[in-house]
Structure 1
Amino acid sequence: MNIKRKLTIRFVLQLATAGAFALLIAAVTLFWILGRLNDTLISQDFASVGLAQLVESSELDKEGIRFDPHLLEQVKKNGGWLQSLDENGQVEQSYNAPKDVPKKYAPGEFLSYWTGAKPFPYQIYLWIQEKDGRTFTLLYGVSNDMGTLLEQVSSQGSLTSNGILMLPNEVTTRLKHLNGYVQLLDAYGSELAAFNRPASAPNTYTLQELALRTMYNERYGFHLSSVYVNESELTWVVSLPNAFGKPISDSWYLSAEARTIFIGIFVMFSTILLSFLLLSLWQAHRFGVPLLHILTWLDDLGNAVYQEPVDHRGIHRSRMRSGKWKRRYRIFADVMYSIDKLSGTLQRDQALRQQTDNMREEWIAGITHDLKTPLVSIKGYAHLLAEPQYEWTAEEIRKFSGTMLEKSAHMDMLINDLAMSYRLKSGVRPPESEEIELNNWLQKALNQAATNPFYKKEAIVYNPSPIDITVNLYTPWLERVINNLIANALLHNPPDTILTVSLMPDKGGIGHTIQFADNGTGMDVNTANRLFERYYRGTNTSSTSNGTGLGMAVSKGLIEAMGGQIIVDTALGKGTVIRLIWGEDDLTIKS
């Protein structure tokens, strides 16, 4: 799997995971908001919401009805009580019920309490629902202090002639206990008298303010209820403190429901933002560190440092002690392998370039020596011939001239080899080839080469092919290759070395091979591997006056330009075998 696909899959999975996590946070937040809203509704209106949930969450077992403990606890928090009635009005179960609540209700009695026809110290709510084949009758009651007090002050309270408010003792005691207050307002909403009114309470009410304080008691901290007496055109107002305490300022007031939603949304977005921030930091660490390492490595390559960067302990940052990639580097393994491979290649190329430069310097020094040596001889003999005080005999002049011609020919051969090596490097092709019968042509070429006075007699042995081989080759090039190979075998080996040249058709008659095998000292691996390099000389340039140091490089280039290949098989102490090989496209075989 390539790095593009790896990164695509990795980022898609991470984004999908982040999205799923965000959805999970949103779902949890929504669940929490709904739960809190439900708790708020239950606390504010248990009679409508809580009783229905109480029935839905109830379970019927052998011991009777079991209600949700959380809802029962909410009944207690609201200061209410709960009773479960059978069809006869008998109380089956009760929770937090005070002693003054009946244990059994007659049908008419219950309706009188419920409708308010008969005084009852509690405000009661009735819930009837069928579930699992059974009819549930729940009676929920809460203290009716507000209604009781309002009824008592409106029926028993009075205003004296000197403006003093007269209330029953039980009312005043109850108001002090509850920290409530009573106000008597005239027809215009102005206060005529009050009992236990705090300084923060207004003494004049407009129609709007009285309505707002009645409907939105959470804003003011007091629950307000009032009754208007038609006969006297007076208004009695009773206010009791809310359960949650202090009033909320209008400037930043939010209802309980709005606060719940606001808190939930704020926490949700904060959590998602924090999660994405942590994910970004994790992503930066997981992907940024490897990328920074790769950039550092590439920068080192640009500065010719071909090693992977290491930490202060000398350990590669991308690998564990076992040599395996660290987790965050694995996704970039292909890139790391490529850079590592590039580092190795550049390191080898640097070493090879340095080695090549050294060889070039050595080769140029050798070529310079080879050119200067015959040039010195030519120059010396020329000076001798030019001296007027000497009269040279004709024989001496011929001797000097022969030496000068020989040195000139050597220089010409060296220059020609140099020119040919560069021509071959530029891709020169051979001139028009000619058709020859290779057995006879090779015999003549070997006989001509054997006349060289530097070669020992009978040092060259020829094994012709058993069949005629007709080829199309450029013979001057082939002759030059043969002369180079013979000189390399006989001039750089002991004097008694024998060179065996064999012409062999390939099996199946589809090609041929010219093999040069000597029984000399052979070559080591390094010399054999670099035998055909232009800037490499296996021997000193001064080891013989007949060599140029370019013969083997030129030979390889000529053979390959003629469509063949040259192979060397050698080892120290075992001689050398060089094969010139052509395929079927280069020849025609005749039996």
Structure 2
Amino acid sequence: MKWRLTGRFLATVVLVVILVTFINIFVLISLLIAQSALNIPIFHNTETSAEAFTRLFQDEITELNNHVTISEKGKKELDKKNAWIQILDENGKGIYNYRTPNGVKKKYTPTEIVNMYKYQEVNVNATVFMSEKNLNQKRYSYFMGFNDPYINKHVLSYDSRNVVQMFKVGSIVLILLDSLVALFIGYLFSKRLTSPLNTLIDGIKRMANKDYNINYESKGIYKDVFYNLNNLSFQLKSSEMERKKLEKMKEEWIGNISHDIKTPLASIQGFAEMMKNTDYNFTLDEMREYAEIIERKSLYMNEVIKDLNLSTRLKNKKLLLNRNYINLVTLLRNILIDTLNDTKYSNRNIEFQFSEETIKLDVDEILIRRAITNLINNAIVHNDEDVKIIVSIEKKERTQIRIKDHGKGIMKDELEIIFDRYYRGTNTGESHKGSGLGMAIANDIIQAHNGEITIDSVIGRGTTIEIHL
């Protein structure tokens, strides 16, 4: 996968470089052809070259009193160019000189003229060009030398067949060299660009294998991707830790529930076997006492099973709410009366406060009763008998129900999981063991009504639970 990604990118870079090279060659050849055909100065400035100046200087050569000379304008141009001129007649004899240096010959043979122009074999410190002037049906040749170290000339001779062959070979070599250079540069560039991608791929594979200990440095063009990958790794790691913690709680909860169900079931089974055995002659009062124990244990088991069923339906959003407008003040008052009528809680100090007599809301009365009952029972069973519990309700922007006590309080680490399923408070007494789903059920019911439930607690100062509907 890594080499395939790098190879594809590398091939793209090489193809682009080769294409650009061919385009550059095509444009260069086109410009050269245009310059040659149209005589447009594309690759040099518009200033007249030394050779062109020599060729055009014939306009400044004139005849005066049967003597060949140059115009004043021509002399000024020669002075400006730091150049000299020597005019020859048809026999190669010098007939006019201007600014010619020492050592210039007075007469030339045809071979010397050719050498003077072509090979610069005379002892002069100048670059010499040659042209001619037709004047009064006579042809005059002239040398023009430029005392400028930057002006040079070279005579080139070549075989066109060799040039074509060299062009073919050179083109192949150039393409190969360009390809190798492009391949090398493309490899370095693509490796630099794809290396972070390979790191990202490795990170994703590690997360797929549940290895969430990933923390890459966020830099380069992929810094946002690395940042999001680190963030995803952190979230997955947190979720995995939460899952393991929930799994552990679930296992502990199953063990506790199994034990809690096994105990009343053993009592039911034991008393039933005793009542069935003909060896025992129980009195009517004894039979009623045993039947009462069996009933109480059965009711406890039935309550646990109902909690399991209700929790599952709430969790899976399969519980339909039977909404009606009811007076929550009346509902809360009835809940507290029923609680205090229970012999287990008859001596509890519970106070009820309300801002107005009627506060109506569209809710499922049975589920809201269940949620508030669970919360009140939670405050009762986790505190001493003399702790005062205040239940209040008031109407603001939303209806607010508060359950407050000044009891033992709840530790911070328990506050974070108190509404989780399978959590059972550490301060619960032996006589108050239940399914461990009471707080989770209450939270799910409030959320099903689009409400919110919050809890605030300080060790030794008490706990406050607020419901907003």
TM-score when normalising by structure 2: 0.71
Question: Quick one: distance in 2 between partners of 1:504 and 1:449?
Answer: 21
User: How far apart are 1:298 and its partner, in Å?
Assistant: 1.7
Percent identical among aligned pairs is 27
Q: Matched residue of 1:501: which SS?
A: strand
Tell me, yes or no, if the aligned pair for 1:91 and 1:103 is still in contact at 8 Å. Answer: no
Q: Matched residue of 1:468: which SS?
A: coil
User: How far apart are 1:343 and its partner, in Å?
Assistant: 1.5
Aligned match for 1:138, one of 138, 142, 163: 142
Question: Quick one: distance in 2 between partners of 1:556 and 1:570?
Answer: 17
Query: Which segment drifts farther, 491-500 or 464-473?
Result: 464-473
Question: Quick one: distance in 2 between partners of 1:559 and 1:121?
Answer: 117
Question: Quick one: distance in 2 between partners of 1:473 and 1:51?
Answer: 105
Question: Quick one: distance in 1 between partners of 2:314 and 2:425?
Answer: 21
1:383-406 deviations in Å (ceiling 9; x for gaps): 332333332222222221111111
Aligned match for 2:373, one of 471, 474, 483: 483
Aligned match for 2:438, one of 522, 545, 551: 551
Tell me, yes or no, if the aligned pair for 1:437 and 1:471 is still in contact at 8 Å. Answer: yes
1:573 corresponds in structure 2 to: 460
Question: Quick one: distance in 2 between partners of 1:498 and 1:56?
Answer: 121
1:397 corresponds in structure 2 to: 287
Over 3 Å counting, the alpha-carbon distance change for 1:122 and 1:423 in structure 2 is closer
Q: Matched residue of 2:282: which SS?
A: coil
2:178 corresponds in structure 1 to: 272
User: How far apart are 1:268 and its partner, in Å?
Assistant: 3.8
Over 3 Å counting, the alpha-carbon distance change for 1:94 and 1:569 in structure 2 is same
Partner amino acid, structure 1, of 2:197:
L
Mapping for residues 57-72 of structure 1, pairs under 5 Å: 60-61=78-79, 64-65=82-83
Return the structure number with greater helix share.
2
User: How far apart are 1:467 and its partner, in Å?
Assistant: 4.4
Aligned match for 1:497, one of 387, 410, 414: 387
Question: Quick one: distance in 2 between partners of 1:92 and 1:562?
Answer: 114
2:364 corresponds in structure 1 to: 474
1:353 corresponds in structure 2 to: 243
Over 3 Å counting, the alpha-carbon distance change for 1:503 and 1:89 in structure 2 is same
Question: Quick one: distance in 1 between partners of 2:460 and 2:429?
Answer: 23
Aligned match for 1:302, one of 208, 224, 244: 208
Question: Quick one: distance in 2 between partners of 1:53 and 1:17?
Answer: 42
User: How far apart are 1:411 and its partner, in Å?
Assistant: 0.5
Question: Quick one: distance in 1 between partners of 2:88 and 2:15?
Answer: 56
Aligned match for 1:287, one of 193, 212, 226: 193
Q: Matched residue of 2:83: which SS?
A: strand
Q: Which has the larger radius of gyration?
A: 1
User: How far apart are 1:20 and its partner, in Å?
Assistant: 10
Tell me, yes or no, if the aligned pair for 1:378 and 1:407 is still in contact at 8 Å. Answer: yes
Residues 1:457 and 2:347 are matched in the alignment: yes
Aligned match for 2:313, one of 410, 419, 423: 423
Over 3 Å counting, the alpha-carbon distance change for 1:485 and 1:63 in structure 2 is closer
1:430-471 deviations in Å (ceiling 9; x for gaps): 453333322233212211111222225242110122342123
Question: Quick one: distance in 1 between partners of 2:210 and 2:381?
Answer: 43
Q: Matched residue of 1:331: which SS?
A: helix
2:131 corresponds in structure 1 to: 127
Question: Quick one: distance in 2 between partners of 1:394 and 1:280?
Answer: 100
1:409 corresponds in structure 2 to: 299
Aligned match for 1:537, one of 424, 429, 434: 424
Question: Quick one: distance in 1 between partners of 2:371 and 2:213?
Answer: 44
1:108-162 deviations in Å (ceiling 9; x for gaps): xxxxx66xxxxx7765875048xxxxxx96349xxxxxxxxxxxxxxxxxxxxxx
Over 3 Å counting, the alpha-carbon distance change for 1:546 and 1:265 in structure 2 is closer
Q: Matched residue of 2:301: which SS?
A: helix
Tell me, yes or no, if the aligned pair for 2:381 and 2:432 is still in contact at 8 Å. Answer: no
Question: Quick one: distance in 2 between partners of 1:56 and 1:271?
Answer: 42
Q: Matched residue of 2:203: which SS?
A: helix
Residues 1:523 and 2:410 are matched in the alignment: yes
2:123 corresponds in structure 1 to: none
Partner amino acid, structure 2, of 1:288:
T
Tell me, yes or no, if the aligned pair for 2:348 and 2:385 is still in contact at 8 Å. Answer: no
Over 3 Å counting, the alpha-carbon distance change for 1:270 and 1:65 in structure 2 is farther
Tell me, yes or no, if the aligned pair for 1:377 and 1:404 is still in contact at 8 Å. Answer: yes
Tell me, yes or no, if the aligned pair for 1:485 and 1:552 is still in contact at 8 Å. Answer: yes
Q: Matched residue of 2:431: which SS?
A: coil
Partner amino acid, structure 2, of 1:127:
S
Query: Which segment drifts farther, 515-524 or 438-447?
Result: 438-447
2:106 corresponds in structure 1 to: 103
Tell me, yes or no, if the aligned pair for 1:465 and 1:504 is still in contact at 8 Å. Answer: yes
Aligned match for 2:95, one of 89, 92, 102: 89
Question: Quick one: distance in 2 between partners of 1:57 and 1:432?
Answer: 111
Q: Matched residue of 1:522: which SS?
A: coil
Tell me, yes or no, if the aligned pair for 1:430 and 1:561 is still in contact at 8 Å. Answer: no
Return 5+ residue gaps in structure 2 as ranges: 1-8, 37-48, 58-76, 118-129, 134-139, 145-155
Over 3 Å counting, the alpha-carbon distance change for 1:15 and 1:502 in structure 2 is farther
User: C-alpha root-mean-square deviation of aligned residues, in Å?
Assistant: 4.2
1:271-308 deviations in Å (ceiling 9; x for gaps): 43233212321233122322222222222222222234
Tell me, yes or no, if the aligned pair for 2:18 and 2:178 is still in contact at 8 Å. Answer: no
Partner amino acid, structure 2, of 1:301:
M
Question: Quick one: distance in 2 between partners of 1:336 and 1:568?
Answer: 37
Over 3 Å counting, the alpha-carbon distance change for 1:263 and 1:499 in structure 2 is same
Tell me, yes or no, if the aligned pair for 1:530 and 1:536 is still in contact at 8 Å. Answer: yes
Partner amino acid, structure 2, of 1:536:
Y
2:269 corresponds in structure 1 to: 379
Partner amino acid, structure 1, of 2:243:
R
Q: Matched residue of 1:577: which SS?
A: strand
Tell me, yes or no, if the aligned pair for 2:14 and 2:186 is still in contact at 8 Å. Answer: no
Partner amino acid, structure 2, of 1:438:
L
Aligned pair count reads: 393
Question: Quick one: distance in 2 between partners of 1:347 and 1:501?
Answer: 40
Question: Quick one: distance in 1 between partners of 2:228 and 2:402?
Answer: 42
Question: Quick one: distance in 1 between partners of 2:168 and 2:101?
Answer: 35
Question: Quick one: distance in 1 between partners of 2:112 and 2:376?
Answer: 135
Question: Quick one: distance in 1 between partners of 2:112 and 2:347?
Answer: 147
User: How far apart are 1:477 and its partner, in Å?
Assistant: 1.7
Q: Matched residue of 1:471: which SS?
A: strand
Question: Quick one: distance in 2 between partners of 1:469 and 1:121?
Answer: 128
User: How far apart are 1:260 and its partner, in Å?
Assistant: 5.7
Tell me, yes or no, if the aligned pair for 2:257 and 2:435 is still in contact at 8 Å. Answer: yes
Partner amino acid, structure 1, of 2:393:
L
Higher relative contact order structure (alpha carbons within 8 Å, sequence separation ≥ 6): 2
User: How far apart are 1:65 and its partner, in Å?
Assistant: 0.8
Tell me, yes or no, if the aligned pair for 1:370 and 1:542 is still in contact at 8 Å. Answer: no
User: How far apart are 1:344 and its partner, in Å?
Assistant: 1.5
Q: Matched residue of 2:210: which SS?
A: coil
Partner amino acid, structure 2, of 1:138:
Y
